[in-house]
């Protein structure tokens, strides 16, 4: 799944050790604007400190996530884990409909350069 959002808050790192070795987890809260209201989504970055280090609060990103729920003691828990994040590209402004496109003038069609002097004097 993929969504676009703005970094609202970067939470502190949580570290630990399991039977498989050391791990690092960091949550990032993204804010999504959907029409007239905003929605916040907390995304977990598991063993991805370099990805989180590039994030800046207030910047917009496209985030790819996996969503998974699991049951423990009769209660359900949902994880949203990021697996790819890309800065959102600024959209290019649309050209004005009433104006023709600006065309660059070729170099050969321009006036002669100031350094090229024409010698029109007699011998």
Q: Give dist(CA 29, CA 8) in Å, integer.
A: 5
**What pLDDT, on the 0 to 100 scale, is given for residue 95?**
59
As a whole number of Å, the CA-based R_g of the chain is: 28
Q: What are the structural domains, with CATH classification, of the chain?
A: 2-87 (2.40.50.140)
How does pLDDT run across 28-73, given as a tens digit for each residue?
Answer: 999 998 888 899 999 999 999 999 999 999 999 999 999 999 999 9
Q: How many CA atoms lie within 13 A of 51 on its CB side?
A: 22
pLDDT higher than 70, residue 96: no
- What element of type H or E holds 43? strand 37-46
Both tokens of 58, joined, read: 């207030």
How does pLDDT run across 23-36, given as a tens digit for each residue?
Answer: 999 999 999 988 88
Place 7 in a pLDDT band, splitting at 50, 70 and 90: very high
């Amino acid at each position: 799944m993929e969504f676009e959002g703005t970094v609202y808050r970067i939470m502190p790192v949580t570290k630990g050790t399991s039977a498989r070795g050391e791990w690092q987890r960091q949550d990032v809260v993204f804010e999504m604007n959907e029409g007239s209201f905003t929605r916040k989504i907390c995304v977990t970055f598991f063993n991805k400190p370099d990805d989180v280090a590039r994030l800046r609060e207030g910047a917009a990103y496209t985030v790819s996530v996996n969503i998974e729920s699991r049951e423990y003691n009769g209660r359900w828990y949902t994880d949203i884990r990021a697996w790819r994040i890309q800065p959102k590209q600024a959209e290019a402004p649309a050209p004005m409909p009433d104006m023709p496109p600006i065309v660059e003038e070729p170099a050969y069609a321009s006036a002669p350069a100031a350094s090229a002097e024409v010698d029109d004097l007699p011998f």
